[in-house]
């Protein structure tokens, strides 16, 4: 499913508001839903509200009732799923839907049961929604707070014993296709995401214990063990390797890594991923930086879950990331889930620079307090009519042109620039007058150079 249009007649600060979420005329994907969308705007303009509205549209009110509330009036969206257009409408908290089958141009209304069957049929092997709140780091303690028993007998459990069990009814089947890290049971979500890694850890340790016992009793020699180990690895592929390979692309920049081979020592190690410094020193979970947590908590679900038809929501992806990581994080996420549709809300000009102008929805209030979208094109919505291209702008230009920041730096910079100009003019005047004051000229020149260096200003010979 991908959303191509949202119309809001009346919801919170949105009044008669429409967003076109398709590629513009002249684009190779003209008319198709955007693969990624960036919401920017001053606090209070409704970026997070739009993310919540998308959750309501995607859930159809079937999964979590708090997605949809009675304040949602006259909201409609067009979504696309293969050859089917879906028109979803929310009126005072009641969801209705119409399907258009493009092949035979047949339209019909659907009820809740129809929607459940549609979603279960078309999402049988993939997930519907993955939603990351801005405060996802606060979830970390929730993941670890339930202590796992230190009883060593856990290593002899069957892998199926540690796997979350899905209920058989349709409502619960759908529940496990929505991964919302704001309102769902976080511990339950992560048990589901990491279940194959947990199975592998238990199976590997059980195998090692079995082999050790056989070798101690003389039932197996070294050659037989090597042959048996190779066979076991072929039959039990390590799911941690793919996760480590992808996460380490960023973690290595933090001087950290995830090891492909699990270092399993106790039942506690089943609870979550383990992180090490590049020299092999383990970093306990409680000592992870907020940036490390942010990366692992957001990237791991995109690696482990099937996102082929998913919608991914990320609120403030820049949190706790240094600018160099912000510069590459959106491309990193979209490569992890190339077939998903991303909706991002941000305050970061660096994050915004990762988007094409037709992918940015800038929200702002006009002089009468009406909320509107600031368009980056004039005339028709055609790629040749866009006059702002975030990828081509300097960071200060993005702040000025897109984020509407009036100054090019801290107000103190303006004061120093004035001081630089005054000293420059005085130096120039002294030289033009031919005044024989070499000491004063040298002093002024040194002061001028010092201020220019502080301002990162190119020095001109006066």
| Interval 283-303: pLDDT, tens | 988 899 999 999 999 999 999
Q: Quick: pLDDT tens for 209-242.
A: 777 777 777 776 777 777 777 888 888 888 899 9
Give pLDDT, residue 103: 44
Rounded CA-CA distance 294/280 in Å is 22
C-alpha span between 69 and 274 (Å, rounded): 40
Give the C-alpha separation, 277 to 269, whole Å. 17
Looking at residue 92, its pLDDT comes to 76
Tokens encoding 370: 């009406």
Closest to 144 measured CA to CA, from 255, 260, 284: 284
Looking at residue 170, what is its pLDDT? 66
> Which position has the higher pLDDT, 147 or 273?
273
Query: Residue 137 has what pLDDT?
Result: 79
**Residue 269: predicted pLDDT:** 64
pLDDT at 34: 95
At 34, give phi and psi (nearest 5°): -65, 145
Closest CA to 252 of 272, 274, 282, 276: 276
Are the C-beta atoms of residues 46 and 361 closer than 8 Å to each other?
no
Confidence at residue 399, expressed as pLDDT on a 0 to 100 scale: 86
Least confident of 60-64, 121-125, 279-283, 345-349: 60-64
Q: Give me the pLDDT at residue 407, please.
A: 76
- Rounded to whole angstroms, what are the CA distances from 201 to 161, 242, 433? 13, 15, 83
Count of CA atoms in the C-beta half-sphere (13 A) of 296: 25
* DSSP H or E run through 91: strand 84-91
Q: At what angle do helices 195-216 and 186-193 cross, to 10 degrees?
A: 60
Distances (CA, A) of 412 to 406, 409, 423, 425, 445: 14, 8, 17, 20, 21
Q: What is the dihedral of CA 193, 197, 201, 206, to 10 degrees?
A: 90
Residue 122 pLDDT? 81
Instruction: Report the C-alpha gap between 138 and 115 in whole angstroms.
Output: 33
Neighbours of 263 (CB within 10 A): 11
Average pLDDT of the residues in 106-130: 77
Q: Write down the pLDDT at residue 63.
A: 63
Considering only residues 380 and 150, tell me which one the structure prediction assigns the higher pLDDT. Answer: 380
CA 47 to chain centre: 14
Q: What is the pLDDT of residue 315?
A: 96
Asked if 86 and 1 count as a contact pair (C-beta separation under 8 A), the reply is yes
* pLDDT for residue 27 is more than 90: yes
Residue-level pLDDT at 382: 96
How far CA 451 is from CA of 325, 408, 413, in Å, comes to 31, 17, 10
- The pLDDT of residue 451 is above 90: no
Arithmetic mean of pLDDT, 264-285: 80
Amino acid 289: pLDDT? 92
**Strand ranges across the sheet with 94-101:** 14-20, 2-11, 73-81, 84-91, 94-101, 106-110
Predicted pLDDT of residue 263: 64
Judge contact between 273 and 296, C-beta under 8 A. yes
d(CA 374, CA 362): 5
Rounded alpha-carbon distances, angstroms, from residue 23 to 5, 76, 358, 381: 11, 19, 7, 9
pTM assigned to the model: 0.84
For the ranges 18-32, 381-395, 444-458, the lowest mean pLDDT is seen at 444-458
The residue-averaged pLDDT of 183-194 equals 83
Q: In whole angstroms, give the CA distance from residue 123 to residue 113.
A: 15
Which helix (H) or strand (E) element contains residue 256? strand 256-257
**Residue 35's closest CA among 355, 274, 420?**
355
> What sections of 39-161 are H helices per DSSP?
47-59, 112-122, 140-144
Contact between residue 395 and residue 349 where contact means Cβ atoms under 8 Å apart: yes
Q: What is the pLDDT of residue 168?
A: 61
Query: What is the pLDDT, as a whole number, of residue 153?
Result: 41
- DSSP for 271-330 reads SS--EEETTS-EE-GGG--HHHHHHHHHHHHHHHS--TT-EEEEE-TTTT--HHHHHHHH
pLDDT 10s digits, 57-116: 887 766 655 567 767 778 888 887 766 777 887 877 777 777 765 444 445 566 777 778
Which residues partner with 343 through β-bridges? 37, 313
Mean pLDDT of 20-32: 95
pLDDT at 148 over 70: no
Q: What is the mean pLDDT of the chain?
A: 83
Counting residues of the chain whose pLDDT is more than 90, the rounded percentage is 35
121 versus 3: the higher-pLDDT residue is 3
- Nearest-angstrom CA–CA distance, 49 and 407: 29
Say which residue, 354 or 93, is predicted with more confidence. Answer: 354
329-346 average pLDDT score: 97
Residue 391 has pLDDT above 70, yes or no: yes
At residue 385, the pLDDT reads 95
Q: Give residue 355's pLDDT.
A: 96
């Amino acid at each position: 499913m991908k959303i191509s249009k949202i119309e809001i007649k009346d919801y919170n600060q949105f009044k008669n508001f429409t967003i076109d979420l398709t590629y513009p005329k002249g684009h190779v994907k003209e008319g198709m839903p955007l693969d990624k969308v960036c919401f920017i705007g001053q606090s209070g303009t409704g970026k997070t509200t739009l993310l919540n509205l998308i959750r309501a549209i995607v859930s159809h009110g079937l999964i979590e009732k708090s997605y949809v509330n009675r304040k949602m009036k006259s909201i409609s969206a067009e979504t696309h799923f293969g050859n089917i257009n879906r028109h979803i409408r929310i009126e005072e908290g009641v969801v209705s839907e119409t399907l258009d089958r493009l092949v035979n141009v047949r339209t019909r209304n659907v009820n809740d049961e129809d929607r459940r069957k549609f979603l279960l049929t078309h999402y049988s092997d993939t997930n519907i929604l993955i939603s990351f709140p801005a405060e996802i780091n606060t979830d970390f303690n929730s993941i670890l707070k339930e202590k796992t028993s230190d009883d060593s007998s856990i290593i002899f459990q069957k892998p199926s014993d540690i796997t979350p069990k899905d209920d058989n009814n349709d409502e619960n089947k759908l529940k496990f296709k929505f991964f919302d890290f704001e309102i769902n049971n976080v511990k339950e979500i992560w048990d589901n995401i990491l279940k194959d890694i947990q199975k592998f850890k238990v199976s590997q340790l059980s195998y090692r214990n079995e082999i050790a016992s056989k070798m101690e009793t003389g039932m197996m020699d070294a050659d037989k063990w090597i042959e048996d180990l190779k066979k076991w690895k072929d039959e039990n592929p390590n799911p941690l390797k793919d996760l480590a390979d992808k996460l380490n692309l960023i973690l290595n920049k933090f001087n950290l890594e995830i090891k492909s081979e699990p270092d399993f020592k106790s039942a506690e190690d089943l609870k979550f991923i383990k992180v090490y410094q590049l020299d092999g020193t383990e970093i306990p979970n409680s000592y992870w930086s907020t940036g490390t947590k942010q990366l692992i908590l957001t990237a791991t679900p995109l690696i482990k879950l099937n996102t082929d038809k998913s919608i991914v929501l990320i609120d403030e992806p820049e949190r706790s990331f240094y600018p160099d990581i912000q510069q590459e994080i959106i491309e990193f996420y979209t490569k992890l889930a190339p077939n998903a549709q991303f909706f991002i809300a941000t305050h970061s000009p660096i994050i915004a620079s990762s988007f094409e102008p037709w992918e940015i929805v800038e929200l702002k209030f006009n002089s009468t307090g009406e909320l509107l979208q600031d368009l980056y094109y004039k005339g028709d919505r055609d790629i040749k009519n866009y006059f702002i291209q975030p990828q081509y702008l300097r960071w200060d230009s993005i702040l000025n042109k897109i984020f509407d920041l009036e100054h090019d730096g801290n107000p103190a910079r303006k004061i120093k620039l004035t001081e630089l100009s005054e000293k420059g003019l005085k130096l120039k005047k002294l030289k033009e007058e031919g005044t024989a004051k070499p000491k004063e000229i040298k002093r002024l020149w040194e002061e001028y150079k010092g201020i220019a260096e502080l301002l990162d200003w190119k020095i001109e010979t006066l």
